[in-house]
Amino acid sequence: MAEMWINMGPQHPMTHGLWNLRIKVDGETIIDAEPEVGYLHRGIEKLCEGKTYTQIIPIADRLCYGASLSWSHLYCVAVEDLLGLEVLPRAEYIRVAALEMQRIASHLMWLAAYAADLGAMIGFIYSMRDREVFIDLLQALSGSRITYNFPRFGGVAHDIPPNFERDSLRACDYMEKRLKEYEDLYEGSKVFMLRNEGVGLLKKEDAMNLGVTGPSLRASGVRYDLRKDMPYSVYQELDFEPATHKDGDCYARFKVRMDEMYESCKIIRQAVTKMPKGKWRTLAPRNAPEGTGLGRVEDPRGEGVMYVVGDGTDRPYRLKIRSPIFVTVSAAPKMLIGYKIADVVAIMGGLDMCIGESDR
């Protein structure tokens, strides 16, 4: 059969989010690929130049609606760097606990979509049901289920509700049991291993060169996790290990994310039990000094960076956002060429794409 260009998207049941993947196929094999993003561009960077610093916190939530707490936290870290503000210790621990819950919820949503695409509708239902446990906890903490508007400069918006510690520990116990079940369910399925092993190989050098970060990088063998290697917040005092895998295929990315959920449970336990007493909210100056601020966090999807330029007023002069998915998607052709059309689902699903942050 002749070679032809196929458009997967922008209207397609599989592609999570609104983007287009043009692949050139020869029969069933992919020989070239070209992702096209930009269908969801909302002009957030320009929008932020007209709003005050506090007004941008909910907007930062909506950058990636799958892991929104980590984006508003990233924004607060960047602005605190600009202002030179110290964060209150109790607030740091609350932030860490909430962030790790958000990480588990985000990974569960990834797992749900991934399993559903591969054909196991059961995976979708189980993962979404377990995600509810953590979304409920975050709702008790902040009042919303998906976009929280929770961190503030120098602290957090509210204190933890009563029984939060007991409920979080119960949730972690429940999650670890369920993770064992998931391992049995997925790794015991020969079909799942057939679809994932050896598919979408990304070598170490390519991963580092192309700017891939986060679980996809760790799945290719590079043991770099921002929470451990350039720590922010109170991650230095917490005891956990970043998960890596040396293969670099889809199964490795799956495994890294599952292991990350284990580690997040450990972190939540420590954060919730070690929380110091004290204030959780403070006043921040209204006008930012002239200068720049840099925030860099480990988003569930990779390395998120924000660069804020202040000019002495109460609105930022420039806010630049680095989205991990934007760069990882540009590395997608490397992972796609040479595989079959049916592998597109496994490979692109394994990258955990959230187009909201990619297009901003």
Partner 1 sequence: MAERGKSTGRPEEGLERAPSRIGEDPEERVIRALLDGFPNTVTDFKKLRKGVLRAKIERRELYKACKLLKDSLGFEHLSMISAVEYDSRFELVYHIVSYQERLLLELVTTTPKDDPSVDSISSIWGGANWQERESYDLMGIKFNNHPKLERILLPKDYVYHPLRKDFKG
Partner 2 sequence: MNLFEFCYGIIHWLVDLVNHLWYWLGDHLPWVFGDFFNWAGDLAVSHGNIALFAILAEAVIMFVIALVNVLNFIWIDRKWMGRMFDFYGPYYVGYRIGGWLQNLADGIKLFVKEIITPAKVDKLGFLIAPVILVSSSVLALSTIPFSPRFGVFTSDLDTGVPAGLLIAFAFFAIAPFSILIAGWSSNNKYTLIGGMRSAAQMMSYEIPLLLCVASVFLLSGSFGFLGVVNAQHDIWFVIPLFLGFIVFITCLAAEVEIQPFDLPEAEAELVEGWTTEYGGFRFGLFMMTSYLRGYVGGALATALFLGGWQGPSIIPDEFWFLIKAYLVFLIIEWMRWSNMRIRVDQILNIGWKRLMPLAMLNLLIAAAFKTMGWF
Residues that bind partner 1 (CB under 8 A): 37-38, 41, 43, 45-46, 204, 206, 208-213, 222-225, 228-230, 241-246, 252, 255-256, 259, 292, 294, 296, 303, 305, 307, 309, 317-318, 320, 322, 326-327, 330-331, 359-360
Sign of the C-alpha dihedral computed for residues 169, 63, 85 and 320 taken in this order: positive
Nearer to partner 1, 115 or 222 (CB): 222
Q: Which amino acid is at 323?
A: S
> Least CB distance from residue 218 to partner 1, whole Å?
8
Q: Which of 31, 121, 230, 294 binds partner 2 (CB under 8 A)?
A: 121
Q: Please report which helix (H) or strand (E) contains residue 255, including its range.
A: helix 250-273
Q: Which is nearer to partner 1, 140 or 231 (CB)?
A: 231
| Tokens standing for residue 313 | 């007023």
The one-character DSSP state at 86 is P
For residues 170 and 323, what is the distance between their CA atoms, to the nearest angstrom? 33
Tokens 């096209």, located at residue: 36
Q: What are phi and psi of 205, to 5 degrees?
A: -65, -40
Per-residue binding letters, 182-221, with partner 2 (x by CB under 8 A): -------x-xx-xx--------------------------
Kindly indicate which of the ranges 116-124, 131-139, 200-208, 256-264 contains the residues binding partner 2, using the contact rule CB under 8 A.
116-124
In the bound state with partner 1, the residue whose beta carbon lies nearer, of 16 and 255, is 255
Which entry of partner 1, partner 2, none binds 343, CB below 5 to 8 A by partner kind? partner 2
Residue 323 class from Cβ within 10 Å (0-12 exposed, 13-18 middle, 19+ buried)? Answer: buried
Q: Which does 256 bind (CB under 5 to 8 A by kind): partner 2, partner 1, none?
A: partner 1
Which 295-334 positions form the footprint of partner 2 (CB under 8 A)? Answer: none
Q: Which does 341 bind (CB under 5 to 8 A by kind): partner 2, partner 1, none?
A: partner 2
Whose structure tokens read 């670099």?
248
Which one of the spans 86-94, 264-272, 323-331, 343-351 is the region binding partner 2 (CB under 8 A)? Answer: 343-351
Q: Is the peptide bond before 300 cis (omega within 30 degrees of 0)?
A: no
Residue type, 21: L
Token readout for 281 is 């909210």
Per-residue x/- mask for partner 2, residues 54 to 93, rule CB under 8 A? ----------------------------------------
Amino acid occupying residue 135: I
As given in the structure block, the two tokens for residue 263 are 């580690």
Among 84, 119, 143, 338, binds partner 2 (CB under 8 A): 119
Q: How far is the CB of 334 from partner 1 (least distance, A)?
A: 8
Contact partner, 14, from partner 1, partner 2, none, Cβ < 5-8 Å per class: partner 2
* 33 neighbors 336 (Cβ within 8 angstroms): yes
Backbone angles phi, psi at 306, to 5 degrees: -130, 135
45 or 167: CB nearest partner 1: 45
- Of partner 1, partner 2, none, which one sits near residue 194, judging by CB under 5 to 8 A according to partner kind? partner 2
Could you identify the residue written with the tokens 């990779």? Answer: 302
Instruction: Identify the bridge partners of residue 173 per DSSP, sorted by sequence position.
Output: none
Task: Report the distance separating Cα 150 and Cα 170, nearest Å.
Answer: 23
Contact with partner 2 (CB under 8 A): which of 3, 6, 136, 161? 6
Q: From partner 1, partner 2, none, which one binds at residue 281 (CB under 5 to 8 Å depending on kind)? A: none
Residue with smaller CB distance to partner 2, 195 or 360: 195
DSSP 280-336: ------SSPPEEEEEEEEEETTEEEEEEEEEESSSS-SEEEEE-HHHHHHHTHHHHH
> CA end-to-end span of the chain, whole Å?
39
Which residues are at the interface with partner 2 (CB under 8 A)?
Answer: 1, 4, 6, 12-14, 28, 115-122, 125, 189, 191-192, 194-195, 340-345
